[in-house]
Amino acid sequence: MKVKYPNPSIKIEKPNKSKSHGMLFENGLNISNEYYRIHNRAIIYKKPTPIQVVKVEYPARNKARIAEAFYRVPSTTDYNGIYRGQYLDYEAKETNNLSFAFKHIYPHQIEHLTKVAEMGGIAFIIIFYRKVNEIYLIDIKVFNELVQLGEKGGLKSIPVEVAKAKGQLVTQGYTPPIDYLAAVDLIYFK
Amino acid sequence: MKVKYPNPSIKIEKPNKSKSHGMLFENGLNISNEYYRIHNRAIIYKKPTPIQVVKVEYPARNKARIAEAFYRVPSTTDYNGIYRGQYLDYEAKETNNLSFAFKHIYPHQIEHLTKVAEMGGIAFIIIFYRKVNEIYLIDIKVFNELVQLGEKGGLKSIPVEVAKAKGQLVTQGYTPPIDYLAAVDLIYFK
């Protein structure tokens, strides 16, 4: 599968993103997941970015150099793993605005998370509202309700106040930087 | 992380593998997983091959072309997902020989699967013995016992007879081509 843009507003992840705040959020999640793994609390990894390799060269034996390749659209979500014996799956998103636009997440990713929840897994979207420096975890069923409500009312995004009311605030700190499993505990293991 | 070879006998996956039997096995697993997804039996995906991107060009706006990249060693295993409400994780391997050498799997992958099992997940290795056209599913705890026994007895591999005795034969067919979840049922859901 080559790069396809089912939604033109979604840009495929690029390496120059590394200098942006988006990468800070992603790094925060990766460091948190490493912390969780080291402390045997969960085994959750970010999936590698899918890349379509077109041309490979072999400058030396057993050494492959990719000379041409393209970013692909991910089949599923960014992160998955096991927590408290449960399958856990989520997509991480961040926005510069005070409202998170639905179009910034692929429909097939929402569908994937919905199916995971139907099968008994823990599935959610975690959104970083950069402007107010707040992170909210929103269960996929709640997210789908918000999408439906939005469709009725003409709203195409989740304002930070709605995320606050319908989602769970994620505590930011040092160890781990983004303690989203504490939010998972509050939502799924009460 | 650039390409590192913790074990020189392990080669990083290359695109020219697509013409080998190994790819047939991988394709068989991917088609089976698609079949399982379509029939709402499980949600299991192969993780993308991890690639370290070095250089990206932008021939057009919103179009990124990777001009230099390298294969990396995978952090975890090839496949994971959810089945019967459980987290499931496995590594797929195939051999031309009548015995599967332990060195063909990374120590950190064995460690990963062992931790998954300790956390209550389903974790195994699935081995295709090409010469006899037989596929065996071996639970990670059983696999670790075989490694320990091997270390005592000087055996560095799993002969197909041992896989037959200690593992579970996976039925090959058409829909799905590799019905390994039937073997999972027999081992983990009896």
Residue A14: pLDDT over 70: no
Residue A142's contacts (CB-CB under 8 Å, 6 or more residues apart) are A166, A167
**How far apart are the CA of A162 and the nearest CA of chain B, in angstroms?**
30
Contact across the interface for B68 and A70, Cβ inside 8 Å = no
pLDDT tens-place string over residues A77-91: 999 999 999 999 999
pLDDT digits 0-9 by tens, B79-95:
999 999 999 999 999 99
Instruction: Sort out which chain B residues have CB atoms less than 8 A from A68's CB and list them.
Output: 65-67
Q: Which residue has the higher pLDDT, B18 or A167?
A: A167
B81 contacts in A (CB within 8 Å)? 80, 87
B6 pLDDT more than 80: no
Pairing state between β A51-60 and A79-83: unpaired
Residue A22 is predicted with a pLDDT of 57
Q: Which residues of A touch B56 (CB under 8 A)?
A: 14-16
A65 contact residues in B (CB cutoff 8 A): 68-70
> Cβ–Cβ of A48/B47 closer than 8 Å?
yes
pLDDT reading at A62 higher than 80 = no
User: What value does the mean pLDDT take over residues B141-149?
Assistant: 96
B14, B69, B80 ranked by CB distance to A80: nearest: B80
Helices A180-188 & A21-38 angle (0-180, nearest 10): 70
CB A50 within 8 A of CB A73: yes
| A75-126 tens-digit pLDDT | 999 999 999 999 999 999 999 999 999 999 999 999 999 999 999 999 999 9
CA–CA min distance B131, chain A (Å)? 25
Does the pLDDT at position A148 exceed 60?
yes
Which class is domain A15-48+74-188? Answer: alpha beta
State the count of interchain CB pairs (< 8 A) between A and B. 118
Q: Which two tokens stand for residue B183?
A: 């073997």
Contact B136, B163 (CB under 8 A): yes
Return the domain boundaries, chain B: 15-188
CATH number of B15-188: 3.40.1350.10
User: Helix, strand, coil: what percent of chain A each, to 5?
Assistant: 35, 35, 30
Determine phi and psi for A40, rounding to 5 degrees. 50, 35
Interface ipTM: 0.87
pLDDT higher than 50, residue A180: yes
How high is the pLDDT of residue A17? Answer: 42
